[in-house]
Structure 1
Amino acid sequence: MISRRLLLGAGLAAPFVASSGAARAQGFPDRPLRYVCPFPPGATSDNVSRTMTRALGPRLGVPVIVENKAGAGGAIGSRMVAEAKPDGSVLLNASAGNLTIAPHLSHVGYDPLRDLAPVALAGVAYGVIAVNPALPVRTVAELIDLGRRRPGFLNYASAGIGSAGHLRGALLADEARVDAVHVPFPGSAAAAMSVVSGDCHLIIDPIAAPHAQEGRLRALATIGPDRWDAFPDLPNLAELGIGRNWPGETWYGLFAPRGTPAPVIARLNRDFNDSLAEPEVAAALLRFGVKPEAVAPEELGRRVAADHADIGRVLRRLNIA
């Protein structure tokens, strides 16, 4: 028979256990935060990371330091955060690529739906379909025509296997019925320079924007939620009747190790979303091709799960593995 003393003890312990997450969150943050970018310097992910850390630091009252942990299409940095202590001191600037594409293509060492906790969304990214100016095309229709006339001739550069640029290039080739070769690079900056130099023909990535604006690349169209203000005269790919049924969006968001206390997630989400509302932050993100969008952690989690499932089905249909 359980004694009355034991029952009373259990009753006193219950609120202590229930509030343990709040207790761990008290005083957060009490040290500099590590903000892991799983891609090299110069990539769009890196630009987003540095923009947000500069805004978050003053709000949180501690330094927020970007650490570039590139490799394996973003898997190395993502796995490092997934395995970190869940106290909010190590965060991940994740992209759609390394959470919803790459895990389908290789053993990344983490489950994006189980091992990482969604915190906040920086925004949805635009993309530019851009070619080397020496390529004799000025429209997407001309690019497709060239690809059909010369099967296997065209190639497209991306930030790596499992990146958003990889998937977008494969989807464009599939819908246009063009045989094109994927050329992966260790990051979008290197991929863009390969097209600038003429080693590759095509790239679909926001990092191509400044190269196109300065004449090093020729922009043919944009990809994104609407027309990109940086290229008001360029059609969105959907306006050309292409890409309307492509799965998922390209986005950048903040994630923490699974098990991070809810009060810590809430504090980070609040300060991150408040930072997005700053005109200087919003303008900087737009320059990098990211349209700011503030959402709750639960909404971000639903997006990741839906994109992960949709993209998995498309990768299997395209026989990309």
Structure 2
Amino acid sequence: MITFDRRTLLLGGLALPTVARASEPFPSRPIRYVCPFPPGATNDNVSRTMARALQARLGVPVVVENRAGAGGAVGARFVAESRPDGTTLLNASAGNLTIAPHLGNVGYDPLIAFAAIASAGESYSLIAVNPSLPVRSLRELTAYGRANPGRLNYASAGIGSAGHLRGALLADAGRFEAVHVPFPGSAPAATSVVTGDCHLMIDPITAPHVTAERLRALATLGEDRWDAFPDLPTAAELGVGRDWPAGGWFALFAPAGTPQSIVARLNAAFNDALAEAEVAAALRRFGLRPVPISPEELAARVVADHAATGQALRRLSIA
């Protein structure tokens, strides 16, 4: 009996039939680049940047297609069920591969449904609040939350998004209550905090609002300080979030069973694009720290984050 471990399956090692002819060079047809979130979201911005970069390197049209819904699960399922020939790709995030699948039946197993290709990088985030909230630091936010039980709420890009988990983790770390308010994407969620309908949000999309002083940033999330906000401390510096799972990342995946030759071709083109100054600068504007990695490294990251996230969700009684 032949068996496969989860990491092998995530790398596309399962020998499923493909529709690509052995003699047909890749790529020879346009490529769908599926963004599982609405236009204006960070995922959408990253998708469009990398689609343009890949098109220039692959010589065929690479078209972004927004298929939003269910915290990114709708688009992810569409790709999982597509032909494994390299012409339908997913710009996934920690949310729809390591969080949402723990919260309900999303229609795919993230550990076996996809072939890992390449990563656009780690994502920084800001813990940002509406300026009307009487807090100017993470410590003051914690104190306010404790003094006003159940009053605080936080916006996110949807149930199962990274912002959903991070908000719950922040409230847990600070020992205060906070109500989760999900939106169909990060752009409308950020708008709700700007207008004051919601109090806070943890997402890179808040950055331009902080720069324009429409929101107030209390801290960053990331391995180090975000160079766009060098004076802003990281949450870890303030003693919060060191053990949080599912760090932010955006990465490219194909359906399981995609031939390794196609995975290698896409990985090489993607990593080559990351080395281009203009592409790297655009990703940094969206809050990413571009770091080229191999399909094997990305697959291992998904497996590790999926396990750690599941433990956190169960501890928080979310899953």
TM-score normalised over the length of structure 2: 0.93
**Could you give the per-residue CA deviations for residues 59-84 of structure 1, whole angstroms, max 9, x where no partner exists?**
00001000000001101100000000
State the 1:26 CA deviation: 4.0
Matches of 2:23 and 2:305, distance apart in 1: 31
Q: What is the match of residue 310 of structure 1?
A: 308
Q: 8 Å contact 1:22–1:262 — kept in the other structure?
A: no
The partner residue of 2:211 within 210, 213, 219 is: 213
Matches of 1:221 and 1:282, distance apart in 2: 23
The amino acid that maps onto 1:267 is: R
Q: Higher mean Cα deviation, 25-34 or 271-280?
A: 25-34
State the 1:225 CA deviation: 1.4
State the 1:106 CA deviation: 1.0
Residue aligned with 1:298, SS: helix
Q: What is the match of residue 114 of structure 2?
A: 116
**Could you give the per-residue CA deviations for residues 175-213 of structure 1, whole angstroms, max 9, x where no partner exists?**
110111100000000100000000000000000000000
Q: What is the match of residue 281 of structure 1?
A: 279
State the 1:21 CA deviation: 9.8
Residue aligned with 2:98, SS: helix
Q: 8 Å contact 1:22–1:263 — kept in the other structure?
A: no
**Could you give the per-residue CA deviations for residues 216-267 of structure 1, whole angstroms, max 9, x where no partner exists?**
1111110011100110110000000111111131100000000001000000
Q: What is the match of residue 239 of structure 2?
A: 241
Residue aligned with 2:22, SS: helix
Matches of 1:291 and 1:46, distance apart in 2: 17
Matches of 1:320 and 1:219, distance apart in 2: 26
Q: How does 1:126-205 map to 2 (within 5 A)?
A: 126-205=124-203
Structure 1 outlier segments of 4+, above 4 Å: 20-23
Q: 8 Å contact 1:44–1:188 — kept in the other structure?
A: yes
Matches of 1:206 and 1:302, distance apart in 2: 24
Flag the 1:270–1:21 CA change in 2: closer, same or farther, 3 A: farther
Matches of 1:31 and 1:319, distance apart in 2: 46
The amino acid that maps onto 1:97 is: G
Q: What is the match of residue 297 of structure 1?
A: 295
Q: What is the match of residue 56 of structure 1?
A: 54
The partner residue of 1:24 within 13, 16, 22 is: 22
Matches of 1:174 and 1:30, distance apart in 2: 50
State the 1:171 CA deviation: 0.4
Matches of 2:246 and 2:200, distance apart in 1: 21
Residue aligned with 1:256, SS: strand
The amino acid that maps onto 1:315 is: L
Q: 8 Å contact 2:20–2:85 — kept in the other structure?
A: no
Structure 1, unpaired ranges of 5+? 1-16
Q: How does 1:261-280 map to 2 (within 5 A)?
A: 261-280=259-278
State the 1:25 CA deviation: 7.2
The amino acid that maps onto 2:95 is: G
RMSD: 1.4
Flag the 1:174–1:49 CA change in 2: closer, same or farther, 3 A: same
Q: 8 Å contact 1:124–1:252 — kept in the other structure?
A: yes
State the 1:27 CA deviation: 1.0
Matches of 1:132 and 1:169, distance apart in 2: 15
Q: 8 Å contact 1:25–1:263 — kept in the other structure?
A: no
The amino acid that maps onto 2:47 is: S
Q: 8 Å contact 1:155–1:183 — kept in the other structure?
A: yes
Matches of 2:52 and 2:43, distance apart in 1: 14
> Whose Rg is larger?
1
Structure with the largest fraction of helix: 1
State the 1:51 CA deviation: 0.5
Q: 8 Å contact 2:19–2:85 — kept in the other structure?
A: no
Q: What is the match of residue 4 of structure 1?
A: none
Identity, % of aligned pairs?
69
Q: 8 Å contact 2:19–2:83 — kept in the other structure?
A: no
Residue aligned with 1:24, SS: coil
Matches of 1:225 and 1:124, distance apart in 2: 9
Matches of 2:249 and 2:297, distance apart in 1: 13
Matches of 1:177 and 1:25, distance apart in 2: 60
The amino acid that maps onto 1:74 is: G
State the 1:137 CA deviation: 0.7
The amino acid that maps onto 2:271 is: N
Q: What is the match of residue 72 of structure 1?
A: 70
TM-score normalised over the length of structure 1: 0.93
